[in-house]
C-alpha cells in the first residue's frame, strides 16, 4: 500500500485552550515563531506526502492565509532587502499542495474525517491531528506508513501513558507481534483505569484505508455526542487486520496549556538561534 495523501483535521473548538481560542484557532498558536500546524505539515512532507487536505471550520481562516502566498509582504521584504525573511515567507507559500474543506459543525473527529471522503478518492491516507506535534528524526507518520506498506493494513500511532491518564485516550487491546507493533484485538474509547485493557494509548497519527468512511457513516454518536473515530475503527476490526505502532519521538499535546508551554520551552532549546539565551534564563537563580 502506498500513501500519498494526508488529512489534517483542524476544525475542533479548542475548548481546553480558551479564552485564546475564542478568536484564534489553536492550530495557529505559535511554537516559537511558527504555528503548530506548520510543524504538522512539515512532518507530512518529510514523510513523502505531496497532497494535504486540511479540515477547517468556523473562525479558521488564519490557517488558509498562513499557507497562501503573500505577494504584498514579499514585495515589501524585497524592497527592504530582507533576503532571509523573504526566503522563509516564499518557502511557506510553496510547501506542498494544500486543499481545504469545511466541517460546518464540530461533531467530532470521526465526522471531520468523513469530510475527506471525496478528496481521498478511494486511496489509503494518512491522518495527522492538527494539535499534536511529534518531533522525531524519522517523521512519526512515516513510521506508520512503513508498517502500512509492509503489512498492507491500517496502522494507528500509539504511546504508553501512565494508567491514571488512560481516560483521556482511545486505548488498544492488542498482541505484540514485533517490538512495539501490536495486532489490534479491540479499541476502547476513554476507559476508566479499572476497565482499560492496557496503557497503550492512541495518539494523533493514523494510516487509514478508505473502508473507514462506510464504518464512520454507520457509527452513532458516542462519548460526548461526537462521532468517534475510535468507535468506527473498532467496528472495522471485525472484518480486517489492523495494527498499532509505538511511535518513537517526542510528542507535545499542544491543545492543552501545559503541553503548549512545554513545547515552546523544549523546541526553543533545539533552536540554534535561541538555545543559549533560553537555557541561560532557565538555569538562572531567581
Binding stretches for ligand UTP (CB under 6 A): 9-16, 55, 103, 106-109, 111-112, 129-131, 255
Smallest separation (angstroms) from ligand UTP to the CB of 115: 8
The neighbouring-strand residues paired with 102 are 56
Nearest approach, Cβ of 110 to ligand UTP (angstroms)?
Answer: 8
Between the alpha carbon of residue 78 and those of residues 11, 67, 81, 179, the distances in Å are 35, 19, 5, 52
> Which residue has its beta carbon closest to ligand UTP?
12
CB nearer to ligand UTP: give 15 or 88: 15
Closest by Cα among 233, 205, 53 to 128: 205
Work out how close the CB of 280 gets to ligand UTP at its nearest, in angstroms, rounded to a whole number.
34
Cα separation, 234 vs 218, in Å, equals 12
User: Quick one: 10 or 208, whose CB is closer to ligand UTP?
Assistant: 10
Nearer to ligand UTP, 77 or 189 (CB): 189
Cα separations (Å) of 242 from 15, 84, 138, 181?
A: 31, 45, 22, 11
In the complex with ligand UTP, the residue whose CB is nearer, 29 or 129, is: 129
Tell me how crowded residue 169 is: count the other CB atoms within 10 A of its CB. 21
Nearer to ligand UTP, 55 or 247 (CB): 55
Shortest Cβ 132–ligand UTP spacing (Å): 7
Nearest approach, Cβ of 78 to ligand UTP (angstroms)?
35
- On the CB side of 239, how many CA atoms lie within 13 Å of its CA? 9
SS3 111: helix
Amino acid at each position: 500500500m502506498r500513501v500519498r495523501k494526508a488529512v489534517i483535521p483542524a476544525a475542533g473548538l479548542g475548548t481546553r485552550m480558551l479564552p485564546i481560542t475564542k478568536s484564534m484557532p489553536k492550530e495557529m498558536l505559535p511554537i516559537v515563531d511558527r504555528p503548530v500546524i506548520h510543524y504538522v505539515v512539515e512532518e507530512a512532507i518529510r514523510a513523502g506526502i505531496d497532497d494535504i487536505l486540511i479540515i477547517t471550520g468556523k473562525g479558521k481562516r488564519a490557517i488558509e492565509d498562513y499557507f497562501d502566498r503573500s505577494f504584498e509582504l514579499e514585495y515589501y521584504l524585497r524592497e527592504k532587502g530582507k533576503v532571509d525573511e523573504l526566503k522563509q515567507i516564499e518557502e511557506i507559500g510553496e510547501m506542498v499542495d494544500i486543499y481545504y474543506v469545511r466541517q460546518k459543525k464540530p461533531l467530532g473527529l470521526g465526522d471531520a474525517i468523513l469530510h475527506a471522503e471525496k478528496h481521498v478518492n478511494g486511496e489509503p491516507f494518512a491522518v495527522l491531528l492538527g494539535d499534536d506535534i511529534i518531533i522525531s528524526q524519522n517523521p512519526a507518520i512515516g513510521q506508520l506508513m512503513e508498517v502500512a506498506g509492509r503489512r498492507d493494513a491500517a496502522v494507528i500511532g500509539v504511546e504508553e501513558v501512565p494508567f491514571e491518564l488512560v481516560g483521556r485516550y482511545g486505548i488498544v487491546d492488542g498482541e505484540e507481534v514485533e517490538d512495539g507493533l501490536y495486532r489490534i484485538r479491540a479499541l476502547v474509547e476513554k476507559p476508566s483505569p479499572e476497565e482499560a485493557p492496557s496503557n497503550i494509548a492512541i495518539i494523533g497519527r493514523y494510516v487509514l484505508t478508505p473502508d473507514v468512511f462506510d464504518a464512520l457513516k454507520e457509527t452513532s454518536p458516542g462519548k460526548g455526542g461526537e462521532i468517534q473515530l475510535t468507535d468506527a475503527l473498532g467496528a472495522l476490526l471485525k472484518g480486517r487486520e489492523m495494527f498499532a505502532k509505538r511511535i518513537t519521538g517526542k510528542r507535545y499535546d499542544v491543545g492543552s496549556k501545559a503541553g503548549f508551554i512545554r513545547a515552546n520551552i523544549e523546541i526553543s532549546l533545539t533552536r540554534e538561534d535561541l538555545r543559549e539565551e533560553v537555557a541561560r534564563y532557565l538555569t538562572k537563580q531567581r
